[in-house]
Structure 1
Amino acid sequence: MTGTPHPVPEAGAEQPVRGRPRSEAVERAIIEGTMKLLEDGVPLAEISIERIARTAGVGKAAIYRRWSGKEALFVDVLRAAEPQDPELPGTSMREDLIVLLEALRRRGLANRSSAILHNVHAQMKSSPKIWAAYHKTAIEPRRRMGAEVLRRGQENGELRADLDLELLNDMFVGPMLVRAILRPEADLSEELPERIVDALLAGLRPVSSPGA
């Protein structure tokens, strides 16, 4: 039985693109357009959706289809400029903590070397909406990841059972944050994550019973 033949496309005819390449290209254009405005020194408060659309060469509707507003867009722009969040090895609590602190160290170095990150982080503090959006989508997930590593360590006997994990989370990231933010002249050496983790774990591991 002979079915209806499929039409043969003419030679040189443009073929439809399947999947999401066009969508991804539009998103990249929007993020890069926003970065260009920031690189040009335009303050966050003066960057409107209309201005981003003009710079990116897209319509405002293309932005609103992807982001609820400029606060959500700024967060994605920041995350695109920052080093990616790491995948944890999962071999031990110590190794996972070192990887988490190494990611924090790299973000600190990026903030020192990137005018975009430095300026936007400084301006975010005066924009509660942007700071709240960044905190919810970037900072809170990272804190949850650290808390989960510590929780597993406590369950596995790598930490004392009487310790406050919320406080411990602050204790581990605190030294790196102090050097990355409050002491911009301080050294952020490659061995710093391991030094912080080992110094703290020395006093936080379970105490062996006498004669054990």
Structure 2
Amino acid sequence: MSSLAGSESKQEGPARGRPRSEVVERAIVECVVKLLEEGVPLAELSIERIARTAGVGKATIYRRWSGKEALFVDVVRTAEPPDPELPGTSMRDDLVALLEQLRRRGLMTRSSVLLHNVHAQMKSSPKIWAAYHATVIEPRRRRQIEILRRGQASGELRTDIDIELMNDMFVGPMLVRAMMRQDADLPEGMSEQLVDAVLDGLRPVSSPPA
């Protein structure tokens, strides 16, 4: 066992517990990234192999992650740009911030061979993809829906269109560009352009004069 596992057991005291935990977690995540960079497929990365390479016991990993799927999701989240802090100044600004994160994630996926390969492999593994969807994609979607609900409540958005469909109208074009069309441009200002164009069609329609 390496000094990493030894240092985890030798250090004592609750004040140091959290920083020590973060060091170990980071070392394990970095170990998985290193193995992936070496070309080891996700399917061949067992907890036992990860623990052996990181120099920790399997119990150390299981104390932090429920299994391989949860660990891989954290690895991908570490490689991706973080979810944005919403400005909260307006519904439009919040939507722009969300789409801008998607745009940057698309650029990063294109420039990172590792991230591109991991995303492709995740989709071929139902368990890992389900874990990623439940812990990353679905919370993002709920956040988007909540912004649109506030827009409807404040009178900024129409209420005669299904809110899930409305969300797809905003997010769909950026997802297509960022994730499905690797040859498509993702220029700065695209997020603002998309939000403004969709908002033009989703603002409440004024009643015609009698």
Shared fold (TM-score, shorter chain, > 0.5)? yes
Gaps of 5+ in 2: 1-9
Compute the displacement of 1:183 (Å).
0.8
Shift of residue 201 of structure 1?
Answer: 0.6
The equivalent of 2:76 in structure 1 is: 78
Give distance in 1, aligned partners of 2:191 and 2:156. 18
Give the drift of 1:15: 8.4
- Give the C-alpha shift of residue 207 in structure 1: 2.2
The whole-number CA distance in structure 2 between the counterparts of 1:52 and 1:139 is 26
CA deviations 1:80-114 (Å, max 9, x no partner) are 11000011111111111000000111111111111
- 1:76-155 correspondence runs (5 A): 76-155=74-153
- What's 1:156 paired with? 154
Alpha carbons of structure 1 residues 140 and 155: separation in structure 2 relative to 1, 3 Å: same
In the aligned structure 1, how far is the partner of 2:20 from the partner of 2:159? 52
Give the helix-richer structure, 1 or 2: 2
**What is the DSSP-based 3-state SS (H/G/I as helix, E as strand, rest coil) of the residue aligned with 2:185?**
coil
Give the Å deviation of 1:208: 3.0
Partner Cα distance (1:15, 1:92) in 2: 48
Gaps of 5+ in 1: 1-13
1-structure distance, mates of 2:173, 2:104: 14
Secondary structure of the equivalent of 1:107? helix
Matches within 5 A, 1:13-28: 16=12, 18-19=15-16, 20-28=18-26
RMSD: 1.5
Secondary structure, in 3 states, of the residue corresponding to 2:56?
coil
Q: How many residues align?
A: 198
Cα distance, 1:195–1:46 mapped onto 2, change above 3 Å: same
Question: What's the TM-score, normalizing by structure 1?
Answer: 0.89
Q: Distance in 1 between matches of 2:11 and 2:19?
A: 14
Tell me the amino acid that sits aligned with residue 162 of structure 2.
D
Deviations 1:124-177 (A, max 9, x none): 111000000000000000000000000000000110121211001111111111
Q: What is the distance in 2 between the residues matched to 1:163 and 1:87?
A: 27
Residues in 1 aligned to 2:111 and 2:31: alpha-carbon distance in whole angstroms: 20
Report the structure number with the largest CA radius of gyration. Answer: 1
CA distance in structure 1 between the aligned counterparts of 2:53 and 2:190, rounded to whole angstroms: 41
Aligned equivalent of 1:204, options 202, 205, 210: 202
1:11 aligned partner:
none
| Cα 1:24/1:90, change in 2 over 3 Å | same
Q: Deviations over 1:26-83 (max 9, x none)?
A: 1011000000011111100011111111221211110011111101100000001100
* 2:3 counterpart residue number: none
- Residue 54, structure 1, aligned to residue 52, structure 2: yes
Identical-pair percentage:
75
Distance 2:201 2:173 in 1: 16
